[in-house]
Amino acid sequence: MKKFEIPSIYRSEVIGKIKEARKIRDPRKKDFEPTLLDFGPVRFYIARHFGFCYGVENAIEISYKALDENPDRRIFLLSQMIHNPEVNNDLLSRGIRFIMDTEGNQIIDWSELKADDIVIIPAFGTTIEIENKLADIGIETQSYNTTCPFVEKVWNRSRKLGQDNYTVIIHGKRKHEETRATFSHSKSTAPSLVIRDMEEAKLVAAKMRGEISTEEFFRHFSACVSEGFDPDVHLQRVGVVNQTTMLATETQAIADFFKEVAIEVYGQENIQQHFADTRDTLCYATNDNQQATYGLLEKHADLAIVVGGYNSSNTSHLVELCAEKFPTYFINSESEIESAHAINHYNYVEKIKLRTENYIPENRPVTIILTSGASCPDAVVDRVLHKLLTYFENVRDVETVVDEALMQPE
């Protein structure tokens, strides 16, 4: 796999060393056992896979390349390049400006842009409508297009579904940048529908079975379908793709569910005429990170710390998984850790910040699960680990602990 040039501020000594050693010992990514770092009074289970993925590293490399190659030109990002405040704030500090916020609200009017400006397409991609708008202004975007290859894979699969006369059902969050982009590309070649979860899938299935009226269908999905969508016609042949940061297991469960509904309605012998297998659109990195989190769930621990941007979809799903078993704290950096007695963290369901006291139990040793989202720099995870270590007495030397951990047999 390609080696990207990432600024040193995002790399780490502890986490980087662990990742490199695990990569050498497990090149085919078959082992999801976490790494145990035993510091004596506190122990950390470090997930097998987490942090920057291929698409994020590609986006970071291209963005900093744009800065280096164009010192005298105005440089804009359509919106946040990735959902991580540290990366976005550093780009802002270097003079890059955002055209929109993460929900697509305009910050800089299109009329302010000029043909010789640089506009970077973020890792989530963008809509066909925005691509056309930039082209009309005369802005060339291909040189600094950071769209993740796995997002483009979803677009290509959606296009093929449309060519084969299937309707595209997108499992995603309707307002998320990636889903907005995927929906735009999908609806250009196929009837398209966005659903959030299995509950919405069940509503669609009720229409497929003829259990609800067209009016009832549109009461729920009017803002989630392409123009001219006719559920009586367009739900007869379907295929499922996803926002790549969703839970892979949930996407597959939704696809399997629609397959079963199609069999129920049309019969097993006709299934290929009514359901397209789209398993190959699941993002490998999202899946690896989630599988590594399942590996963490097999361990006994006192709490879990998940690090990432609060608007990061893939990070929220890791939090969701960890919270099934452990008291879990979603933080965007070490700055959210006030002391050994208080931590500020994010409730992604209610979208509010919380403050919890006495989050570190009194028993010794304390065991902490530590992982991060795909857009979180390893350097931030390093700083979280080091800050937590300061709250314990007589901890063992970091370098010694890491070396010992990596010498353990598989």
Where is the domain boundary, 257, 282, 307?
282
Where is the domain boundary, 117, 144, 171?
144
Q: Are residues 271 and 165 in the same domain?
A: yes
Q: Are residues 63 and 90 in the same domain?
A: yes
Q: Are residues 138 and 30 in the same domain?
A: no
**Maximum pairwise Cα distance, the chain:** 69
- The pLDDT, as a whole number, for residue 161 is 97
In total, how many domains does the chain have? 3
β-bridge mates for residue 53, sequence order: none
- The pLDDT, as a whole number, for residue 287 is 85
Q: What is the mean pLDDT of each run of 10 residues along the chain (410 residues)?
A: 86 93 91 97 97 92 96 94 90 95 92 97 95 96 94 96 97 95 98 98 98 97 97 98 90 96 97 89 82 96 97 93 97 98 97 97 97 95 98 97 83
Where is the domain boundary, 263, 282, 301?
282
Catalytic annotation, pick one of 57, 131, 177, 178: 178
CATH of the domain at 292: 3.40.1010.20
- The pLDDT, as a whole number, for residue 214 is 97
Q: Are residues 135 and 32 in the same domain?
A: no
Q: Are residues 389 and 293 in the same domain?
A: yes
The verdict on residue 3 lying in a domain is no
Q: Is 178 a catalytic residue?
A: yes
The verdict on residue 215 lying in a domain is yes
CATH of the domain at 114: 3.40.50.11270
Q: Give the dihedral sign, CA 85/88/91/96.
A: negative
Q: Are residues 195 and 166 in the same domain?
A: yes
Domain assignment of residue 373, given as a range: 8-53+285-407
Cα atoms in the Cβ-side hemisphere of radius 13 Å centred on 19: 19
Q: Are residues 185 and 273 in the same domain?
A: yes
The verdict on residue 1 lying in a domain is no
Environment class of 8 (CB within 10 Å of its CB; exposed 0-12, middle 13-18, buried 19+): exposed
Q: Are residues 19 and 64 in the same domain?
A: no
Q: Are residues 165 and 209 in the same domain?
A: yes
